[in-house]
Amino acid sequence: MLVNVLDDIHGQNSAVVGTSFRFYENALLPYQSDEFVAGIGSNAEQTLAVGSPSVANSVLCHPSISNWSKASGKPFAQKGERCKRLSASLTLYLVELLNRAYAGEQLSALPESKPSLEAQNCQSCHGVSETMATASSVKTDMECTVCHSGHFN
């Protein structure tokens, strides 16, 4: 929503959204460097409450939190500081992306602005405006095989 409220910066808004989704799926988050922790006005004691950073493997909140729980051994109810830092990490990354787009970088040319090749292959038949034969139409910027096994293997 935030990105689309802005003007389409050099035609790169879709790539900004796609790249931030890939980052949320694949990066070890939240950021934990001393510089970041100081930058958000937090401290090392609060870092203990975060436990271990984790990879979400998804753009959805539920796998993100549950994979963090697995990595850090903490229950959902203690997610507070971790989720605040996750939001701050994403905000920082998003601002960096917007600045790169504003500076004229073609983010849409980067592989990380698109779903994996495997998901793009699914989309080639399960398209948004056209589909192959009886395939249902799908519109989602998520990794398909996190939830589906696919069907030609």
Interface with ligand HEC (CB under 6 A): 60, 118-119, 121-126, 132-136, 138, 140, 142-148, 150-151
Instruction: Pick between residue 77 and residue 117 the one whose CB is nearest to ligand HEC.
Output: 117
Minimum distance, C-beta of residue 29 to ligand HEC, in the bound complex (Å): 18
Minimal distance, residue 54 CB to ligand HEC, in Å:
17
- List the one residue out of 22, 34, 47, 37 whose CA is nearest residue 112: 22
As measured in angstroms, the least distance from the Cβ of 11 to ligand HEC is 23
Asked if 114 and 120 count as a contact pair (C-beta separation under 8 A), the reply is yes
Which residue, 37 or 119, is less far from ligand HEC as judged by CB? 119
Structure tokens at 21: 């989704």
